[in-house]
A and B are shown apart, each in its own frame.
Chain A
């Protein structure tokens, strides 16, 4: 035995080593090693990024060539920095800074030295490039926008950051990726797949030919062209109408859920985020925290929905059988509990039944309906939950699931919400009566509200709103082609639709009628507050309008929010009518409305809270009139042909 201890140890260790070698070299041999191998030069071949077309086939986004100066820090040899810097128009300090940062990232992986050379700089530099060892020029493709509109829809592409590189090995330093809008949503379709060539270098860093005769090389796959649901003309028209205003417009085709227009105001020219000035322009807009041009109000801004929300309460009342269309409720310029007025109202005939209640937007009528819904059950929390479930079935109160990467949930309270707030059984329906008229705790984004109106136009179902219409050789997600049904039975919609039709016929939007189109709409006026130096201050109401048209088989459903525009038909209603007419007729007969919108600005109104002075709101304000901008007008007339 004593003879064998060392002998066996030797055999055992030898065997272990062979097993370990087998594990390291054969079992887990790493195929991706090529990418980390500094002796293999990787040359990428970037494919054409897919084009973006609007629903009518108009080209919106194309490509333009761009040249990046790339370098591999380890391979940089001493060079004439002075000449190099002057060619690139940078200082020597910048040179050092860029070099050190890249060296820190990785000494042997390529980094971008200067992105997006101008064509002139490229031409000069190309001649002298061979003098600068370790540097080379990578051709890439940048976006070329064929339009000045739709920045929030189209989005932009930008250089990948370290976090992306680490989470997705497809991307290498300096690659471009969709950052926002459809560029981000459909990045994988648009980008294609870049090709790669592996080139063997010898010990002295010279290329000696394709690695293993190119068996690992791949060809680039071009990006796919996509068609989006946006109607470029309608989008542009919306953006022009929203000049000097803030807010959002969403127009949806109810029969498909396709987003026809998605306007956020103020917006910007998408070309600002292309090329070398990208970061400068981006930060300029990023730091504009007052008008927030980068903030997509149509998707992100949560507003109290105001009166358009009343139609939902009417529907829920009918579905829950707590009210019939013939039930009348009185209104004494408001809704009273005992002698206390819970909500005010404006003057109109009284009492009103449902259809007139909607047409006249009577607060008292909906306060009564709302109380009947919530008080149907002994426990108000239960009533609240039933109500909340109905409301949520219209896509409110949660992310809608559309194919853009940003969004807000909105807010639809339920029983738990108030139980937490007031305590269990310590509240009744009058505590949150404001929900009856779309104030109080409810909040919604423009796209949610547009979707809600589409569902009403469809009499009880909607398709999840989406921006993609067609991807080359691909079918779109079935989620967007499957109808989502609301919890309201179809027969309850007709009286509500009739009420909305009457809004245009004889109600709050009677002045906005467009001949030849049966529009169903609903005005909204929403109180809103901000904090100025910690003091809650009321601002002029938001002007809100929702509509769909035509009444039967609607082609368009629209929600318009104009911040601080005061009552619903004042700004939002006019814009909604114009948008509908534009989309359905392609030309405007109500040019009086159009001129009014173009000659009235809300800039003064927006300036007030930041002026530091005390200011008046709503009825005590005067409208700011601006001269008609001829260029706007001519742009608009160019839109119809």
Chain B
């Protein structure tokens, strides 16, 4: 009996409590954003909120199963899980169902399943497994490339299925690999490329190249031990090429709707007529969601009292734009609480990850945190107009069974691994 109790307390209850708070609060907002009519029929599977409630109850069972499985199972079978997951992504090209332009769903009767949600878990497992292998040295170029291939396969597959949002999430693995010793140069290049791309679009390639040149030259002169001047020149050439290439990429590779989103975000469009048109079409969501959030004020309009939510002003409000419901009905207090809960959850996971004795568990923990972090950053950033529109759900909040389950599995595998850390060795 004593042993049993002990076993349960090994699970990190702080994480579990934050998880439950987010799921319950998320469901309340889905209810608010999706209900119509006078009565609320909690288990009505025809309504999103009813469906989600069923998903949530099923999730509880799922948690029990995940926590019951031997911790070693996940590490040992990670390759097979990865393989199955990749096959399920490939299978979409043949059996997939097209929803809103993305071929990301399998349909079974009335149910749809989105394998890309689960592919993230498989990839985290596979990468953790590969890097933690004694034969792998992340400082070696060859191992780095193999690792990148593991990540690139699902990323490219979902990109081909027109699910750009999910592709971007795979950038999360950078955090995992960096923690494990990926050379700093990747971080530098990553930051430099992002800045160059944004600046080139906003201020033009010539200005950006000159600015980069001045920075590089000044840096060279202020370095005490003068290195060979070939390296800065190469960097400069790279910068110039990148900034000139960005425009080409923007105009010729990106699809028109993606161009528009970036153009709105960077305020590139100056023509008031076109801007007005944007506001009426694709920027409508963003505009309405910002208005809804803004109208919440300090304390919000109250549960089920959000006038914009009730009026269905924000399209897709129960899925990607769920945070605008929080903003309107719960105000600054409620929205800040959600942000803080996510931050606490992420910090807790990171803290636990650092406590892990095995590299696999630590990497897995980092993977969980990075993926949730990417979703959190992109989704809430988008809903509040801080980054361009990218359609990915808010973990544990947004409506959708696949999303809820995949994040639950992702998180609870880590909780299981964590509970086992005392038993290792």
Contact = CB atoms under 8 A, between A and B. Distances in A.
Contacts of B297: 25-26, 29
A21 B332 contact: yes
A17 B298 contact: no
A3 to B, nearest CB: 6
Contact of B332 (A7, A11, A25, A39): A25
Contact of A2 (B181, B304, B346): B181
Interface in B294-316: 294-298, 304, 307-308, 310-311, 313
A24 B290 contact: yes
A24 B293 contact: yes
A230 B344 CA distance: 77
A204 B310 CA distance: 9
A500 interface: no
Nearest to B372: A10
Contact of B340 (A13, A14, A36): A14
Nearest to B328: A25
Interface in A33-67: 33, 36-40
A33 to B, nearest CB: 5
A203 interface: yes
A11 B294 CA distance: 23
B336 interface: yes
Contacts of B366: 6
B327 interface: yes
21 contacts: A2-B181, A5-B175, A6-B179, A6-B366, A9-B175, A10-B373, A13-B377, A13-B381, A14-B339, A14-B342, A14-B343, A17-B381, A17-B386, A21-B327, A24-B293, A25-B297, A25-B332, A30-B295, A33-B291, A38-B313, A39-B311
A148 B17 CA distance: 81
A16 to B, nearest CB: 7
Given A20-B386, A26-B332, A39-B307, A10 B296 contact: no
A165 to B, nearest CB: 16
Contacts of B175: 5-6, 9
6 A-B pairs with the lowest CB-CB distances in the bound complex, closest first: A39-B307, A14-B343, A25-B332, A6-B175, A24-B294, A10-B346
Contacts of A40: 307
A526 to B, nearest CB: 48
Contacts of B380: 17
B293 A10 contact: no
B335 interface: yes
B148 interface: no
Contacts of B311: 38-39, 108
Nearest to B176: A6
Nearest to A9: B373
A18 B347 contact: no
A28 interface: yes
Nearest to B380: A17
A29 B354 CA distance: 41
Interface in A197-253: 203-204
A19 B345 CA distance: 20
B335 A25 contact: yes
Interface in B243-301: 290-291, 293-298
A39 B354 CA distance: 50
A282 interface: no
A16 B384 CA distance: 11
Nearest to B307: A39
A49 B175 CA distance: 69
B74 interface: no
A205 B370 CA distance: 45
B407 interface: no
Given A22-B332, A26-B298, A7 B376 contact: no
Contacts of B347: 7, 10-11
Interface of B is mostly: helix
Nearest to B333: A25
Contacts of A38: 307, 311, 313
Interface string A434-475: 000000000000000000000000000000000000000000
B369 A6 contact: yes
A282 to B, nearest CB: 31
B13 to A, nearest CB: 21
Contacts of A39: 307, 310-311
Contacts of A21: 293, 327, 332, 335-336, 339, 384
Given A2-B179, A13-B373, A25 B296 contact: yes
A234 to B, nearest CB: 51
B179 A3 contact: yes
A39 B292 CA distance: 13
Interface of A: 2-3, 5-7, 9-11, 13-14, 16-18, 20-22, 24-26, 28-30, 33, 36-40, 108, 203-204
Contacts of A29: 294-295, 297
B26 interface: no
A3 B354 contact: yes
How many chain B residues sit at the interface, stated as a range, is 35 or more
A53 to B, nearest CB: 46
Contacts of A5: 175, 178-179, 187
B50 interface: no
Contacts of B335: 21, 25
B212 interface: no
A17 B323 CA distance: 12
B310 A203 contact: yes
B38 interface: yes
A18 B336 contact: yes
B386 A16 contact: yes
B331 interface: yes
B352 interface: no
A22 B327 CA distance: 11
B212 to A, nearest CB: 23
A36 B307 CA distance: 10
Interface in B187-228: 187
B242 interface: no
A20 B377 CA distance: 13
B350 interface: yes
B336 A2 contact: no
Nearest to A40: B307
A25 B331 CA distance: 7
Nearest to A37: B307
B391 to A, nearest CB: 19
Nearest to A36: B291
A9 B327 CA distance: 23
Contacts of B350: 6-7, 10
A328 B308 CA distance: 87
B128 to A, nearest CB: 15
A24 B335 CA distance: 11
User: Chain B CB within 10 Å — which of A17, A20, A39, A40 has the most?
Assistant: A17
Given A17-B386, A38-B313, A204-B38, 15 more contacts: A6-B175, A6-B366, A6-B369, A7-B350, A13-B381, A20-B384, A24-B290, A25-B293, A29-B295, A33-B291, A33-B294, A37-B295, A37-B308, A40-B307, A203-B304
Contacts of B295: 29-30, 33, 37
A218 B380 CA distance: 38
A38 B336 CA distance: 26
Interface in B377-410: 377, 380-381, 384, 386
A26 B333 CA distance: 11
A25 B376 contact: no
Nearest to B377: A13
A618 B123 CA distance: 102
Contacts of B294: 24-25, 28-30, 33
Nearest to B339: A17
B294 to A, nearest CB: 5
A6 B373 contact: yes
A25 B307 contact: no
A534 B181 CA distance: 90
A11 to B, nearest CB: 7
Contacts of B308: 37
A163 to B, nearest CB: 15
A33 B290 CA distance: 13
